[in-house]
């Protein structure tokens, strides 16, 4: 017999890497996850900008569960920006962002519109709600 459980991991701006909070969820339901996000507050009052779903399974012979499925990243409360836009505005405080986009080949990013500002590469399979 196998045990299966779904989770949602919320991502909020952090100092060097994103702060994460993982909670159980009945199903991969973006509406439910968005409602849950309203109750998440990380250090320095950072609030989520996105989430991923995972499903963990464990068979009788397994010592621990393992991630058996992962969703793409779901972003909310963000603005999608293209590399051309970031380069064209040429803001002095975005030098590192422009360099990261150029060096890493990021064509698009999402930038938070509320709370702590952060910009994250937008991958092809990511979802913007």
pTM: 0.91
Q: What is the pLDDT of residue 115?
A: 87
Q: What is the pLDDT of residue 1?
A: 64
Give average pLDDT by consecutive 10-residue segment, the chain, 129 residues.
92 94 98 97 95 94 90 97 95 95 96 93 97
Residue 64 contacts residue 14 (beta carbons within 8 Å)? no
**Residue 113, CB-side half-sphere exposure with 13 Å CA sphere:** 8
Q: What is the pLDDT of residue 59?
A: 87
| Alpha-carbon gap, residue 45 to 61, rounded angstroms | 42
Q: Where are the beta strands (DSSP E) in 74-113?
A: 74-75, 78-82, 108-112
Q: What is the pLDDT of residue 60?
A: 83
């Amino acid at each position: 017999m196998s045990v299966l459980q779904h989770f949602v991991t919320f991502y909020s701006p952090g100092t060097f890497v994103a702060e994460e909070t993982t909670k159980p969820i009945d199903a991969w339901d973006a509406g439910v996850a968005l409602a849950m996000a309203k109750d998440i507050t990380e250090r320095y009052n950072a609030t989520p900008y996105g989430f991923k779903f995972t499903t963990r399974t464990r068979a009788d012979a397994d010592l621990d569960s393992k991630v058996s499925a992962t969703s793409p990243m779901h972003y909310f409360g963000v603005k999608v920006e293209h590399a051309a836009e970031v380069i064209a505005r040429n803001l002095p405080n975005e030098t590192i962002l422009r360099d990261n986009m150029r060096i890493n080949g990021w064509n698009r990013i999402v930038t938070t519109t509320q709370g702590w500002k952060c910009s994250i590469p937008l991958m092809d399979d990511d979802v913007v709600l």
